[in-house]
Chains A and B, each alone.
Chain A
């Protein structure tokens, strides 16, 4: 298994509070991604990173920000959580954007009350 961990694995928070999710990899892969998974929508890309301090928006980036200060860590922040951000969040990594498969972490289940 690819060395990807996510923390926390479960979180319950209240509307309006800030939340940070962490993705950590031990594979030294260049590309890292954050997705959210919701019933009936499959996986949707929130943000991705193509190197340290290099990030870009995905399909559903509103309300989310990311940071990557080290190759191994990619943080996803909800500045002010809303109930619509209740979801399961997955981090993924890949060595080459495009032709390479992505390897997924175990996911974080976030509930915003």
Chain B
């Protein structure tokens, strides 16, 4: 079965530090991969997505993610955390076509300390 694993339900970083949120997927075929962000009491907003082509994907708010097929990973990074980055982040995947419903990881809550 398709699945997404996000390592760490909570991650805390200091303002200005590197943000690294981990996502691994299970797949025997190339997946489509997404990162969403959810601010408190809001819906989910797309940060970035990988479908095909360049494996390093740049998103909004300075975030980027790299698709590594050999490691079945799609980790999210940002070089320098800002207080406004505090939110919950979800990795999601699907496999395209008529069975392409999104499967979400359980989420990682990011805290940013001043």
Contact in complex: A106, B42 (CB < 8 Å): yes
A105: chain B residues at CB < 8 Å are 43
Contact between chains at B96 and A43 (CB < 8 Å): no
Is the CB of A101 closer than 8 A to any CB of chain B? yes
Q: Are A90 and B101 in contact (CB under 8 A)?
A: no
Residue with the highest number of chain A CB atoms closer than 10 Å, among B90, B96, B99, B101 = B101
CA separation between A42 and B38, bound complex, in Å? 11
CB atoms of A97 and B44 under 8 A apart: no
A48 interface residue (CB < 8 Å to B): yes
Interface range on chain B: under 10, 10 to 19, 20 to 34, or 35 or more? 20 to 34
- Are B101 and A33 closer than 8 Å at their CB atoms? yes
Interface size for A (C-beta < 8 A) is 21
Inside 8 A of A104's CB, which chain B residues have their CB? 36, 43-45
Q: Give chain A interface residues in 61-113, CB to chain B under 8 Å.
A: 90, 92, 97-99, 101-107
| Residues on A with beta carbons closer than 8 Å to the beta carbon of B112 | none
Q: Which residues of B contact A (CB under 8 A)?
A: 9, 32, 34, 36, 41-46, 49, 51, 90, 94-102, 104-107
Q: List 10 A-B contacts (CB under 8 A).
A: A33-B101, A33-B102, A40-B9, A42-B104, A42-B105, A42-B106, A97-B98, A98-B97, A104-B36, A107-B43
Across the A-B interface, give the 8 residue pairs with the lowest CB-CB distance, nearest first: A98-B100, A98-B96, A104-B43, A42-B106, A42-B104, A104-B44, A43-B104, A97-B100
